[in-house]
Amino acid sequence: MTDFLAEYAAFCETHGRPDRVELMLCDINAILRGKWLPGEDETKLAAGGVRLPLSTYAPNIMGEEVEATGLGISVGDPDGRLYPVPGSLQPVPWARGQKVAQVIVEMHDDEEDVAFYSPRRQLENMLDRFRARGLTPVVATELEFYLYQPR
């Protein structure tokens, strides 16, 4: 908690206190989800006082709940607590005329562990498996484009 509060204080010294902080997490479809928090609620965020339904991680591509995940209404759509990812707090330069910050968050379950459904957690687990074998995964994207000549 105090780590984020120190990071937030340093952010405010550099950029000024934001009017709002946009909390963002990525669902299993690589779509950002989250909520806005008033800029003066940093203690609430640091303490895990902001919640979202765990099903936020697992909608279908249309954003609809998928009961087969076991996270939906049939089990009461339980909430998880949001905690900021260290080092991810950034200003939003394109928020014209507003002081806005964004921070990546992770959702924790009732046992205060990062939720099993978190894509970030699953990626970290996979990276740990590579490291245990002495391997380093590498991603290479292929950039395809076409050049057109105007007529």
Q: Containing domain of residue 64, as a range?
A: 2-132
Q: Is 93 helix (H, G, I), strand (E, B) or coil?
A: coil
Q: Regarding predicted confidence, which is higher, 21 or 2?
A: 21
Tally of domains within the chain: 1
Q: How far apart are CA 123 and CA 31, in angstroms?
A: 16
Q: Is the pLDDT of residue 137 over 70?
A: yes
Reading the block at residue 143, the tokens are: 């950039």
pLDDT tens sequence across 30-59? 889 999 999 999 999 999 999 998 888 777
Residue 47 lies in a domain: yes
User: What's the CATH number where 102 sits?
Assistant: 3.10.20.70
Residue 146 lies in a domain: no
pLDDT tens sequence across 61-109? 887 777 767 676 666 678 889 999 999 999 999 998 899 999 999 999 8
